[in-house]
Amino acid sequence: MSELIFKNVYKSFLRTDSDEITNALSDISFSAKSGEFVSIVGPSGCGKSTILRLISGLTYPTRGEILLDNKPVEETSSERSMVFQSHNLFPWLTVGENVAFSGTLKGNKEVDEAEVDRLLKKVGLYEFKNLYPSSLSGGMAQRVSLIRTMVNKPEVFLLDEPLGALDAFTRMNMQDEILNIWKEENNISIMVTHDVDEAIYMSSKVIIMEPRPGRIKKILPIEMEYKRDRTTKEFTEYRNEILKTLDI
């Protein structure tokens, strides 16, 4: 079982337009284990995406430690893969080639085509394998982006507002797609979202943040069985607690 640990992490940036230092994160501590889905919510500027970039190895803590399986996170790795709001598919590659390409980044000379086919079938896109991204809708393209990230079976699956650009109906369907992949892979999934209902619907626990500098205000376990019903009293109570913590 994998475990990701943040220990008293601080992150500061030197502004490019002055000599001032911006304190983005202050004393961030939390942990997540295999089989946990963690959402991070909070106002703009509270450092949500910075936390994902720290986990991915795209940037480094000013102080503190980030550990995965008791080893410091010091660089990017296919063990920690990220999906962004934009699908970023290569337009010159077919759907199948886009999915397979992620495996080549891990150093595989050949990606198991059967695994590519399995993932495409899982999200209902096998019949589109030989088409180009321009033939896909936004939701379909984002599904391809998700499984392209999953082909390497990362220990930590990072999602930076992956559904923000989708319409409400497609977004709800994609929430279920992501949860299905997470349950099957049993990895650590960490998602940044501005949608409180989305966080409650998908998460084992929700990290609620406040800004300037970004810090954790509360960590709220969501103790509801999957698949969750957004219309229940329990769901509403979680929503009210998060909104109250956010002072909304």
pLDDT score of 106: 54
The predicted pLDDT at position 146 comes to 84
* Mean pLDDT, residues 224-231: 95
* 137-141 own/partner pairs: CB under 8 Å, 24+ apart: 137/170, 138/87, 138/165, 138/166, 138/170, 139/166, 139/170, 139/173, 139/174, 141/87, 141/89
* Greater pLDDT, 18 or 159: 159
pLDDT category, 85, cuts 50, 70, 90? Answer: confident
To the nearest whole number, what is the mean pLDDT of the chain?
Answer: 90
Indicate whether 210 pLDDT > 80: yes
Give long-range contacts, CB 8 A cutoff, 24+ apart: 102-107: 102/148, 102/149, 102/151, 102/152, 103/151, 103/152, 105/78, 105/152, 106/78, 106/152
pLDDT score of 244 more than 90? yes
Choose from 112-116, 138-142, 144-148, 242-246 the range with maximum mean pLDDT: 242-246
How, if at all, do strands 21-33 and 156-160 pair? unpaired
Sheet containing strand 188-192, strands side by side: 80-83, 156-160, 188-192, 37-41, 205-210, 215-221
The confidence score (pLDDT) of residue 111 equals 65
* Residue 26 binned pLDDT confidence (cut-offs 50, 70, 90): very high
**Mean pLDDT score, 140-158:** 87
pLDDT at 77: 87
Q: Where are the domains of the chain?
A: 89-153
Mean pLDDT of 184-203: 95
Q: What is the mean pLDDT of residues 66-89?
A: 88
Q: How far apart are CA 116 and CA 147, in angstroms?
A: 8
- pLDDT bin (cut points 50, 70, 90) of residue 48 is very high
pLDDT category at 105 given cuts 50, 70, 90 is low
What pLDDT is stored for residue 19 in this prediction? 73
Phi-psi region of 132 (alpha: psi -120 to 50; beta: other; left: phi over 0): beta
Q: Is pTM, for the whole model, over 0.85? A: yes
Q: What percent of the chain has pLDDT over 90?
A: 61
